[in-house]
Structure 1
Amino acid sequence: MLMILPKPDNSVRFLILLFLTICSLENIAQVQKKTYCNPMDISYRYNFEQLNEKISYRSGADPVIINHKKEYYLFVTIQGGWWHSKDLINWNYIVPDKWPMEDMCAPAALSVRDTMYLFQSTFEQRPIFYSTEPEKGKLKFLNRWMPRLPKDIGPWDPALFHDDDTDKWYMYWGSSNVYPLFGAELDKKRNLTYAGNNPAEAYKAMLWLDPYKHGWERFGPNHSDPFKPFTEGAWMTKYKGKYYLQYGAPGTEYNVYGNGTYVSKDPLGPFEYAPYNPVAYKPGGFATGCGHGNTFQDNFGNYWNTGTTWIGYNWGMERRIVMNPAGFDKDDQLFANTRFGDFPHYLATKAVPSQNGMETDELFTGWMLLSYRKPAVASSTLKASPTDTLSADRTTDEDPRTFWVANQNKPGETLTLDLGAERDVRAVQVDYIDYKQTVYDSDSTVYTQFKILTSTDNKKWTVAADLTKEPKRDRACAYVELDPRGDGKPVRARYVRYEHVYVAGSHLAINAFRVFGNGQGKVPATPATLTAKRQKDQRNADLSWSKVPGAVGYNIRWGIAPDKLYQNYQFWNDQPNTFELRALNVGVPYYFAIEAFDENGVSVLSKVVDDGSGLGKK
């Protein structure tokens, strides 16, 4: 039967049109926002930590991402709250309805069934919270305080762990270059206080650093400082009946901050050092370091590893957050893939096989860095001193500690890159740095707005992205996909321009204007030679390789077997082609290969070579 509906009046038409428009915008947003780029694009908060020293900076460190009821929650040191996401890309900041005695440093977070648990780092007596509505910021006390442990023991940098197979609870912690990581069983009947009658005897040592055998645990840039290293950032993952106790080392202030693991058949050990350590390591590139984080699974069962990358301009602990694909290979080896870790990656929309290790590379978009050392012109530049001009070219050198500062923080200031030829431009990342700021707290006045314009001739410009069209939020590491037509096709451009609208504070300072996409030429040739020679000190190896004309850079990939090249060190073509690698484990054989990359793509991986030590021979 045909039903005749009445003709809608103007108000009904308006509601229908509004509904269709909202649906259309949501669909466009879903198409546009399908990738992410490290450092993570979240609203890093201004940190009151150094207020007394009059140092102003945004920072984020010690991340924990948990999957709670198929949604994601991110906890970060001293941020006044946490972030909530349904897709691991769009993060909404949440202020809790109650908070502990002070803001949380390196918090522990855990999801068990329908409940989220939260606990702060402390040397005092502090409570464990729980929530069944973390998306609303609702917190309740599970207990009023954990019993006090002996002086200097902690628990600092804690991690909570629930063994689903035994229904037992544990906590791990430690942040020191004197003490080890500790572990203890918790008693659920006592609201997760320490098991046993004497808290002072309820814990025991889990692991110690051994920099004399583990080269990557040595302190300093490229593990070159004899200072005693730090272990911190405990995290526990159970996989196929084995317990992987993870830890960060050797210190957050350098490029070599990574995550390692010990493995046991029991949650309290004894633990054995995994010979393939570190499991997450990124010493080269823009966002260096990936230590002190956690390992979690997304809604498709894929593993991810989070960590802390170092800025360190305003303060030694000025940092950002990274997230890398991870997994377990066919031999149950835990690894994180940091190859092109600060280039755009897809978020998984299905289970991504990890049994053969590098299959997680399928999440790499293949969008290459188009902006490295490209000419940059600014509308104005602040002269910091008679000998130091904070010039525009510092935004393309891939160093987060160098930057351009505009003469004034006002709308209309521009930063323009010449890519040298027309390219298919896919995305940009604008990273801000706090230069002589006086902002000490994030409020409604702290947000970021700008426009991205593109041109083929430096005369006619087209708006490719406009952040004034979206809700106000602070984006210290703003990552924007360029899809102005909404068809998923790249923008064809030679020139890319940042046009300033607003950022809080007295100065507009940008430490990186990164442009990603692809050229139209051939990928570079594979480097003709790569040599690796293990030193008498087995923690070190001397590497050398042949340069490829026109290459932008190289990835040295290595691991403990020819098919386990999970480690990666990125070098630029204008850097030396020799390097002393100081991140190896004594008594373990290593294998190496190299690939070159440029704006067109990545070469075929070279032939795998061994380290010449003979350790791999039976």
Structure 2
Amino acid sequence: MKTSLSVITLSLLSASALAGTTLINPMDVEYQYGERISEKRQFIKAPGLVTRQSADPVVIKHEVDGEFQGYFKFASQGRGYWMSMDLIHWDHITPAGPWAVSYFTPGQEKDAGTTIIDPDTGLEWKDMIAPAALAKDGQVYLMASHRNGGKTELLVSDDPASGMWEFASEDLGFPVVGDTNLWDPALYHEDDQWYVYWGSSNLHPLWGTKINQHRQRGLELNRFAKPVITAHPDVHGWERMGFDHVHDNRAPYIEGPEMYKRGDTYYLTYAGPGTDGNVYGDGVYTAKSPLGPFEYQAHNPVSYKPGGYVHGAGHGNTFEDAHGNLWRSGSNWFGVNWVFERRNVLLPSAIDKDGVMYSTARFIDFPFHAPTGKYQDPNELFSGWMLLSYNKPASASSTLAPQNDRSFDAAFVTDENPRNFWVAADNNDSQFVTVDLQGEKTVRAIQLNYADYLVQGEAYRAPLPGSGVSRDAYDAQLYTHYRLSVSTDGESWTEVANNLDTQENRANVYVELDEPVSARYVRFDNVHVGVKHLAVNGLRVFGNAPGKAPKPPKGLTVERLDDRRSALVSWTPSEAKQSTVGYNIRFGVAKDKLYHTYQIWHDEFAGELAGQKEIRSLDLHNGYCFAIEAFNETGVSKLGKVRCVD
């Protein structure tokens, strides 16, 4: 079994892109407890509720004199930032000295206690929000979002791994157009000219302008900004609000512009239609100059993840890895404690022979390889390790009694919905949860996803950088310790992983086993969590089951609806769950551009709704092609027949 599985995995990868380790989404980083939830925005009514989350990531590759120094990820509410050498293992860095914080005029922030008053200016400031980052000439530049009336600081570091930064400019000024906020900024530089793009609104467009170098005043915004992108939900189906773009009569938000250049083409990406649901994604416009005019790319959105465990892939940036491969960062929606609770994702990406930028969301919440060379197709990175735990029976040492008509059963650790979670009745080292895979399978990796239930009190909020408060006592309490074990009979257990030698607060733990093991049962044992309740929303197990991959689905039909932004996709579903766990609807603007993926589960719809899905993200004026593949615990079918509609 082990040899044949290795052969399968190797056949999926270009020889130059082989890697010995894998990653998964959401990214496995130390998300910080930084957000205190106001009463009107939280899902769980509890005073003093705090949650860990991260959004709006920008990832840059840092080089000095052509030598790779590492990847750096900056994001909202990070209490600092993260560094990696391989896109897999990320270390959190707490900045020392000056730091890029988001300023507000006093009283703008309604949640008292979330800001600090600057004694020199009287302005309120809080942790960095929706930052811009740029690597240039061996240095990294960083700027946070700011509200009108604050100040716009540009920081620079030639050694971001050290946490040391200094001011490149302490006040760039504010725009005089649009909503007059420098929110969701992006930096771009070429030919000794700086540019900045910004915007986050359901009323205003996104903006762009130059940053000029003044002899006396230093860097300053050119006040002659121009609109670069405007939302058109009447034409672009993916810009419609609502779960699965079921329009709820709200105007869509567009935000988070980011610039990338390949050859003579400028790719300006942007996020929409809203970060509080499964359809959050990024679109792209192209141009031949940094400030346009910009043209909407036919293939859009460029990054998109509406189905599966991970929902959403919006407000990110485009970056190249050390091997020249393209990636998109992004935010995915969790929405456990409040509507804007998010994590971060990485999507393998590319620009095809026709200059079309795209990302693949196909199996990006399953393990995929970190490349050690140049890949030809982002889909090559998929490991072939399948989800073995979907809706499998689970049992626990104890379960908290239902609260306000909400239950916390152990079954929620396998339902692939992070908004459901198991909560133990007690928080101690005797608590565990076990998943029965219902047969011996080859287990290769485990993802352990903690949830936050009723985390209350200021003591759980990580200190703000620059506040003068030490993190030592905080870090000593807010860590997670676990053991992961497997068994063939549910009685004799073998430990396959633990993290007892670290003190990290990791919410989305991913463990690739050193060697594949044969097991029927997988168990998580709690050793320590630093909050009141032990809660887990996913014990996800990956590997392969004996047997055959499913056959390609048959009977595919596609009907373009009266509203041409939507199409009804139908097929003949498999009769047995054992033969098919789920389907990937793959679609795009041409037969050779099936870049979008919508994943659904085989048992997600029943009766007359089985074997059909309405896709509502289409462009009014484009034709589209569709195909479907099925997957189970053994592998993935060949892609079915392609059907195209005008």
Instruction: Give the alignment's TM-score, normalised by structure 1.
Output: 0.89
What's the secondary structure of 1:57's corresponding residue?
A: strand
1:529-548 matches, within 5 Å, as 529-548=555-574
1:269-284 matches, within 5 Å, as 269-284=292-307
Q: Describe the superposition over 1:382-437 as per-residue Cα deviations: whole angstroms up to 9, x where unpaired.
A: 01238543100011110010000000111121100100110000011111111011
1:36 to 19, 23, 30: 23
How far the C-alpha of 1:192 sits from its partner, in A, is 6.8
Question: Counterparts of 2:30 and 2:503 in 1: how far apart (Å)?
Answer: 10
Question: Counterparts of 1:553 and 1:127 in 2: how far apart (Å)?
Answer: 48
Question: Counterparts of 1:396 and 1:32 in 2: how far apart (Å)?
Answer: 28
Q: Describe the superposition over 1:359-386 as per-residue Cα deviations: whole angstroms up to 9, x where unpaired.
A: 2111100000000000000000001238
Asked whether 1:414 is paired with 2:432, we answer yes
Query: CA contact under 8 A between 1:32 and 1:481: conserved in structure 2?
Result: no
Question: Counterparts of 1:341 and 1:379 in 2: how far apart (Å)?
Answer: 32
Question: Counterparts of 1:389 and 1:105 in 2: how far apart (Å)?
Answer: 34
Note closer, same or farther for the CA distance 1:585–1:311 as it changes in structure 2 (3 Å cut). Answer: same
2:389 to 363, 371, 377: 371
Query: CA contact under 8 A between 1:169 and 1:192: conserved in structure 2?
Result: no
Q: Describe the superposition over 1:56-80 as per-residue Cα deviations: whole angstroms up to 9, x where unpaired.
A: 1110100011001121001110122
Asked whether 1:153 is paired with 2:180, we answer yes
* Structure 2 residue aligned with 1:249: 272
Displacement over 4 Å in runs of 4+: 189-192
Note closer, same or farther for the CA distance 1:533–1:111 as it changes in structure 2 (3 Å cut). Answer: same
Question: Counterparts of 2:404 and 2:345 in 1: how far apart (Å)?
Answer: 37
How far the C-alpha of 1:533 sits from its partner, in A, is 0.8
2:363 to 340, 353, 368: 340
Question: Counterparts of 2:354 and 2:205 in 1: how far apart (Å)?
Answer: 28
How far the C-alpha of 1:240 sits from its partner, in A, is 1.3
1:168-317 matches, within 5 Å, as 168-189=193-214, 193-194=219-220, 196=222, 199=223, 202-224=224-246, 225-317=248-340
What's the secondary structure of 1:76's corresponding residue?
A: strand
What's the secondary structure of 1:394's corresponding residue?
A: helix
Q: Describe the superposition over 1:232-261 as per-residue Cα deviations: whole angstroms up to 9, x where unpaired.
A: 111001011110000000000010001100
* Structure 2 residue aligned with 1:450: 482
1:435 to 442, 453, 457: 453
Query: CA contact under 8 A between 2:195 and 2:210: conserved in structure 1?
Result: yes
Query: CA contact under 8 A between 2:213 and 2:220: conserved in structure 1?
Result: no
Relative to total residues, which structure has the larger strand share, 1 or 2? Answer: 2
* Structure 2 residue aligned with 1:583: 617
Note closer, same or farther for the CA distance 1:393–1:80 as it changes in structure 2 (3 Å cut). Answer: same
How far the C-alpha of 1:195 sits from its partner, in A, is 5.2
* Structure 2 residue aligned with 1:119: 143
Choose 49-58 or 519-528, whichever is displaced more. Answer: 49-58
1:501 to 527, 537, 548: 527
Gaps of 5+ in 2: 1-17, 40-46, 102-124, 463-473, 606-610
How far the C-alpha of 1:50 sits from its partner, in A, is 2.6
Q: Describe the superposition over 1:310-355 as per-residue Cα deviations: whole angstroms up to 9, x where unpaired.
A: 11121111100000100100101000011011000110100112xx
* Structure 2 residue aligned with 1:108: 132
Question: Counterparts of 1:328 and 1:118 in 2: how far apart (Å)?
Answer: 27
Gaps of 5+ in 1: 1-30, 354-358, 484-488, 614-618
* Structure 1 residue aligned with 2:495: 463
How far the C-alpha of 1:188 sits from its partner, in A, is 3.8
Question: Counterparts of 2:446 and 2:86 in 1: how far apart (Å)?
Answer: 20
* Structure 1 residue aligned with 2:13: none
How far the C-alpha of 1:125 sits from its partner, in A, is 1.7
Identity, in percent, stands at 45
Question: Counterparts of 1:387 and 1:118 in 2: how far apart (Å)?
Answer: 46
What's the secondary structure of 2:50's corresponding residue?
A: coil
Residue type of the partner of 2:234?
Answer: Y
Number of corresponding residues: 565
* Structure 2 residue aligned with 1:162: 189
Residue type of the partner of 1:566?
Answer: Y
Query: CA contact under 8 A between 2:80 and 2:92: conserved in structure 1?
Result: yes
What's the secondary structure of 1:47's corresponding residue?
A: strand
Asked whether 1:132 is paired with 2:158, we answer yes
2:627 to 581, 593, 611: 593
Residue type of the partner of 2:187?
Answer: L
What's the secondary structure of 1:135's corresponding residue?
A: helix
Question: Counterparts of 1:304 and 1:455 in 2: how far apart (Å)?
Answer: 38
Residue type of the partner of 1:119?
Answer: M
Q: Describe the superposition over 1:27-78 as per-residue Cα deviations: whole angstroms up to 9, x where unpaired.
A: xxxx997111100000000023437851211101000110011210011101
Instruction: Give the alignment's TM-score, normalised by structure 2.
Output: 0.85
* Structure 1 residue aligned with 2:76: 77
Question: Counterparts of 2:161 and 2:393 in 1: how far apart (Å)?
Answer: 45
How far the C-alpha of 1:102 sits from its partner, in A, is 2.9
Residue type of the partner of 2:286?
Answer: V
Q: Describe the superposition over 1:207-251 as per-residue Cα deviations: whole angstroms up to 9, x where unpaired.
A: 101000000000110111221000011100101111000000000
Query: CA contact under 8 A between 1:186 and 1:192: conserved in structure 2?
Result: no
1:330 to 340, 348, 353: 353
How far the C-alpha of 1:167 sits from its partner, in A, is 2.9
> Please, what is the CA RMSD of the aligned residues?
1.6
Query: CA contact under 8 A between 1:376 and 1:415: conserved in structure 2?
Result: yes
Question: Counterparts of 2:434 and 2:79 in 1: how far apart (Å)?
Answer: 36
Question: Counterparts of 1:292 and 1:385 in 2: how far apart (Å)?
Answer: 35
Query: CA contact under 8 A between 2:35 and 2:53: conserved in structure 1?
Result: no
Question: Counterparts of 2:431 and 2:598 in 1: how far apart (Å)?
Answer: 36
Question: Counterparts of 2:453 and 2:20 in 1: how far apart (Å)?
Answer: 30
1:468-617 matches, within 5 Å, as 468=500, 470-483=501-514, 489-548=515-574, 549=576, 550-576=579-605, 577-611=611-645, 613=646
What's the secondary structure of 1:383's corresponding residue?
A: coil
